[in-house]
Structure 1
Amino acid sequence: MRRRGTDWAVAPPDEPALTILLKPPTEREAMVDQAGAEAWARAWTDPAFVGGLTVEWEERSWRRVGRQRVPVRLVARRPDDVAALAGGRVASEWRLFAARVAEIRGRWGPSEELDATCRRHAREITGWDEDRFLQVLDVAQWLAIHPSDGLRPRQVPVRGVDSKWLGRHRGVLTALTTATTGRPGLGLVDGDPLLRVRCLDSSLCIGGLADLAAPVRQLASLALRPDVVFVFENLETVLAMPQWPGAVVLHGSGYAVDVLEKLPWLARCPIVYWGDLDSHGFAILNRLRSHLDGVTSVLMDEKTLLDHRDLWVIEPRPARGVLDELTSDERAVLARIRAEGDVRLEQERIPWDLALRELRSVSRG
């Protein structure tokens, strides 16, 4: 029911939703307990026992007792019949979801786009209380009628809706608005993501600031002239870096490295990248190299991986795909990581004195 119920609520099946094979007694079993066999067959004729389900019967030709008509299949023709059979929380959740799908269709009319939205967001649609569900529909309807292009979330003039509320419900609101209007999004203006930068040389400080976070477009206007730029995946590593002549360190968290090409001063100096020794660390390195030249990795080699075998953990959702920007040695390490069972060596687990030694060696070129 849980597996197919979402599809049934959106598009009820034309054929029976569920067929359950019964196991009528054999002739031998009937001869051993004739009263029990008769009672079992008779129960399937009782509407109170069968409920709204259909029982299909077949004749059996038994050598000693002749022809007997026995129940062989229990058929639930409607999804609601399956829900009744399942009972409990499964049934109540399915009925609630089906009712809410009907409410959504009642507002906007049926469409493939709305059906897909309901399937994709079934968990949220079912999980809200009634007031929250109706509020989401009301806001989606308002946004469909009043395009909010250029507005910040704080400026949406709907009573009871603030930026936090929009943040929690934005996925469903966007899907509903796109399904009903064809617009690709809500048009709301988000805040620019901030990039963390530390100047490890006081001569490079920006207005006396050595550590700052700012939008990339603002950082792009800086007249920095570093001799080397470190890009680290881990913020603690960024903060632990000591004073370093001519050096700047950036927090390249996750896939934020995609925006680094917008910093023109990065194109004029060597870049040293250090990420976790796992599939995502190499995927980020690959993306960084696709945007910038002169990127060297550090502590992402097979020796480092094997020397710290006791510190490995398993990566829960490894990245897949071909990473064309990796060197042959880096591809070999990634292959070893996958062969060992998608392991991960987080950069924080590597001893700090070893890390600094390797960073100094690489930065000297």
Structure 2
Amino acid sequence: MKPAKWSRPEDIVEALRRKWADGRLLAAAAGGHPFEPIAVTLKGPVAADALHHFEEAYVWAQSWDPSLHPHLRVQTKTIGGRNGLPSQTVPAQAWIESRHALWALLGVTAEVDHFHALHAHTALRAPDLALWMADHPMKVLRHSAVWHQLVRVVCWIGSHSAEQIYLRELDVPGVDTKFVETHKAILAELLDHTLPEDRIDSGIPKSNLAARYGFRVKPTYVRLRYLGTSPLPFSELAVRADELADWSPGVRTVFVLENEITYLSLPPVPDAIAILGSGYAAALLRHLPWLDDVDLYYWGDIDTHGFAILDQVRERFPHTTSLLMDRATLFAHEPHWGQEMTQANGNLTHLTPEEAQLAQDLRTGVYRPNLRLEQERIAIGAVREALTRHRN
């Protein structure tokens, strides 16, 4: 019978490497915890194996010769000696008795020394970050080439008020916005650890460093086009949303669209403007309280995302009327049906019964899986007719 699998020296190294990789070994060292010797019980030959598989047992025992493993202490035991079986001395346990031996066994001494140097340097400049380092040593090593720059960035942000500046104005030697963008994931972790709670907007994802940590963000612009006679020397404007909030364009009717070409090609409509939503109409329109006092129409694609945006717009502006987002329009343009790659999820509570039923039919694939009809595929004649009908 073939002997059972016996422990190999490389098995110990492999098991210890898993502990090294998850950070627990270096974290214990960084945290100042005393080293507890590690004992690994070896699975080796029994007395019968030494008798029936002597050569294999001998080769196995030789593989554990202490001269081959200067970083291990190999403890032996005696097997056999009963029932006429000769006694044999075989390896029984392998011990790692110091961190120095452990690092050498794993071949990570240089990495450990580098970590300790980074940790000591950081402790002098940013003690809070040093505490984080002790808990996340492997993340530090993965960013060791730029660690000093990361620390300088975190310290600079912590000592400056961000409210009146853009992230572009961060003034740290050797650091630019490209660096910040490249390392935003690790910077977010460090900033979350070091900044006070009132400096962190936890509702904003970590990927948006500027908004999450209170920097000025790029302004939102509203693009609008006069469909009738413009009172200004311009037919089209792009205005900061916060500034447009206090200025009314002086029209009775507003059409909101998501597609740029459709927005640009709308026919003339007296006393009306078109606003380009570009996929986030609800976020744009909430800045404009004067929309409460106009006839507001929303026109999006006939798909699950279009109805989701309509639902969001109507949540803020309940008087919103949908335009060309009905079953009749959908079936009149069947040759132009397309496919929605991913569908929107969520409970839509601000649709009319007819809109809600059509949205549900699209979601469940009643007519075709992932069916959509894009704005630009609707005939211009149907657009003109709809605008005339809603104008009168």
Shorter-normalised TM range: 0.5 to 0.7
TM-score (norm: length of structure 2): 0.61
> Would you say 1:334 and 2:359 are equivalent positions?
yes
Counterpart of 1:335, as a letter, is Q
Work out the CA distance in 1 between the residues paired with 2:67 and 2:388.
Answer: 83
Counterpart of 1:195, as a letter, is V
Deviation at 1:215, TM superposition (A): 0.7
Which residue is 1:140 aligned to? 154
Q: Contact (CA 8 Å) 1:234, 1:253: kept in 2 or not?
A: yes
Which residue is 2:390 aligned to? 363
TM-score (norm: length of structure 1): 0.65
Matched ranges for 1:3-42 at <5 A: 8=24
> Would you say 1:343 and 2:370 are equivalent positions?
yes
> Would you say 1:179 and 2:193 are equivalent positions?
yes
Task: Indicate the larger mover: 144-153 or 171-180.
Answer: 171-180
Counterpart of 1:228, as a letter, is T
Give the length in aligned residue pairs: 351
Which residue is 2:287 aligned to? 262
Higher Cα radius of gyration: 2
Task: Indicate the larger mover: 150-159 or 4-13.
Answer: 4-13
Work out the CA distance in 2 between the residues paired with 1:113 and 1:362.
Answer: 67
Deviation at 1:172, TM superposition (A): 4.9
Alpha carbon RMSD of aligned pairs, Å? 5.7
Deviation at 1:235, TM superposition (A): 2.5
Q: 1:30 to 1:276 in 2, by over 3 A?
A: farther
Task: Indicate the larger mover: 219-228 or 336-345.
Answer: 336-345
Counterpart of 1:180, as a letter, is T
> Would you say 1:314 and 2:341 are equivalent positions?
yes
Which residue is 1:193 aligned to? 220
Which residue is 2:232 aligned to? 207
User: Identity, % of aligned pairs?
Assistant: 28
1:151 to 165, 184, 197: 165
Deviation at 1:350, TM superposition (A): 2.3
- Matched residue of 2:280: which SS? helix
Q: 1:42 to 1:140 in 2, by over 3 A?
A: same
Q: Contact (CA 8 Å) 2:277, 2:284: kept in 1 or not?
A: no
Q: Is there any run of 5+ residues in structure 1 with no aligned partner, and where?
A: 15-21, 60-64
Counterpart of 2:356, as a letter, is R
Q: Contact (CA 8 Å) 2:259, 2:278: kept in 1 or not?
A: yes
Work out the CA distance in 2 between the residues paired with 1:313 and 1:47.
Answer: 67
Matched ranges for 1:192-341 at <5 A: 192-201=219-228, 203=229, 205-302=230-327, 304=330, 307=334, 311-315=338-342, 318-340=343-365
Task: Indicate the larger mover: 169-178 or 36-45.
Answer: 36-45
Deviation at 1:275, TM superposition (A): 2.5
- Matched residue of 1:322: which SS? coil
Q: Is there any run of 5+ residues in structure 2 with no aligned partner, and where?
A: 1-16, 34-41, 80-84, 201-212
Deviation at 1:262, TM superposition (A): 3.1
Q: Contact (CA 8 Å) 1:9, 1:101: kept in 2 or not?
A: no
Work out the CA distance in 2 between the residues paired with 1:94 and 1:326.
Answer: 60
Counterpart of 2:273, as a letter, is V
Deviations 1:163-215 (A, max 9, x none): 565565566545533421314244422342111111111x2x25211111111
- Matched residue of 1:192: which SS? coil
